[in-house]
Amino acid sequence: MTPEAMGTIGFIGAGTMGSGMITNLLKGGFAVRVFDVDAAKLDAVVAEGALRGTDAVQLVRDCMFVLCSLPSSQVFVRVAEEALIPNARTGQVFIDFGTTAVPEARRIAALLEAREARLLDTPVSGSPRTQGFRVFIGGDKATAERCRPIFDAQTEPRFAVYCGPSGAGQIVKGVNQLGMGLISAACMEAVAFGVASGVSPEIIGAAVGGDSGFRRDIGAMAAQAASGEAVKNDAKFAELPYFLAQAHAAGFAIPLTQALHTFCEPAARQWRDNMNRPYVSFWHRLMHPHARKAE
């Protein structure tokens, strides 16, 4: 399908990720109608050429292809239940670019399919404004192929990968996030072991760091610790419950993820990640082991 044949694309969510994807769609020749609860974010994409939407329900009623980029699984589920599912119609396609818990993604897909509509779970990684942006596509394969022009507007075809049926995109995003989060957590714990034992992060970086492999990762983490930036490494904390829920539903264990979440959970969520979600800093928790949530 061409952008013209797809008609006006609806887009819910114009935050950090969504605004970049909207820009890419406009550059790709799509007409895009956008809604965001934040008027300033909506104004910014309208200034780039997007059409202004009044609310999520309007977009669902007016557009056959409705894309979402929302900050959490909970927010997407709420929008789906309040706006997408009640107003879905035959042949309509919904695309969730956010990270959503796998059981919820599959549940919503089934509810939309009962209304003869389709949901593609297509979480992303990287920045839509840079090369190497990745899209992990789950859902009906024929529907994914129909939507290929949307994905091609975002990144190179080799980085927009069809992963399998409903939920598969979210599962592969989990691999991506756990790979980043657990490696970061391991490096934080290794460096914290040294710092808490009395060795400066500068010395740790000089002694253990290097140009490749684990030495590069340890060196980078030691530099973060030396600059005070280690507390800002979120280790994907906000998303860990999604992956734990999927593992529980599927009947297998992810013990490192469980241990990381259990260790961090008692502490206060004093920081916010790139999606503005509150998180516990693993580094802060390591260096202040007795800190607890405020009563």
Q: Which helix (H) or strand (E) holds 10?
A: strand 9-12
Choose one of 117, 141, 165: the last residue of a domain: 165
Output the tens digit of pLDDT for each of the chain's 295 residues. Answer: 788 889 999 999 999 999 999 999 999 999 999 999 999 999 999 999 999 999 999 999 999 999 999 999 999 999 999 999 999 999 999 999 999 999 999 999 999 999 999 999 999 999 999 999 999 999 999 999 999 999 999 999 999 999 999 999 999 999 999 999 999 999 999 999 999 999 999 999 999 999 999 999 999 999 999 999 999 999 999 999 999 999 999 999 999 999 999 999 999 999 999 888 999 999 999 999 776 564 3
Domain count, the chain: 2
Residue 132 sits in the same domain as residue 155: yes
Q: Clarify whether residues 98 and 160 are in a common domain.
A: yes
Q: Are 137 and 163 in contact (CB under 8 A)?
A: yes
- Is residue 70 located within the same domain as residue 49? yes
Specify if 293 maps to a domain: no
Write the pLDDT tens digit of every residue in 267-285. Answer: 999 999 988 899 999 999 9
Distance CA 116, CA 41 (A): 32
Q: Which residues contact 78 (CB under 8 A, 6 or more apart)?
A: none
**Quick one: 148 and 265 in the same domain?**
no
143 & 256 share domain:
no
Per-residue pLDDT tens digits for 130-168: 999 999 999 999 999 999 999 999 999 999 999 999 999
Tell me: do 100 and 17 sit in the same domain.
yes
Tokens, residue 159: 């980085």
CATH of the domain at 159: 3.40.50.720
Q: Give pLDDT, residue 290.
A: 73
Does residue 295 lie in a domain region?
no
- Contacts by residues 54-58 (CB-CB < 8 Å, ≥ 24 positions apart): 55/83, 56/12, 56/82, 56/83, 56/84, 57/83, 57/87
The phi, psi pair for 272, rounded to 5°, reads -130, 140
Residue 4, domain member (yes or no):
no
Alpha-carbon distances, residue 295 vs 261, 268, 283, 284, 292 (angstroms): 20, 10, 22, 19, 8
**239 in any annotated domain:** yes
| Gap between the Cα atoms of 116 and 149, Å rounded | 22
List the CATH number of the domain containing 193. Answer: 1.10.1040.10
Cβ-contact 9, 33 below 8 angstroms:
yes
Cβ contact 291:265 at 8 Å:
no
Residue 2 lies in a domain: no
Does residue 292 form part of some domain? no
Residue 223 counted as domain residue: yes
Instruction: Give me Rg for the CA atoms of the chain.
Output: 21
| 111, 240: one domain | no
224 and 242 part of one domain? yes
Instruction: Give yes or no for a contact between 178 and 243, defined as CB atoms under 8 angstroms apart.
Output: yes
The residue from 132, 165, 198 where one domain ends is 165
Structure pTM? Answer: 0.92
161 and 223 together in one domain: no
Would you say residue 1 lies in a domain?
Answer: no
CA 72 to chain centre: 8
Average pLDDT, the chain: 95
Domain boundary among the residues 112, 139, 165 is at: 165
State which residues form the domain around 247. 173-287
Do 161 and 29 share a structural domain?
Answer: yes
CA distance 219 to 90: 54
Q: Are residues 24 and 122 in the same domain?
A: yes
- In this structure, the answer to whether residues 48 and 105 fall within a common structural domain is yes
How far apart CA 87 and CA 61 sit, in angstroms, is: 7
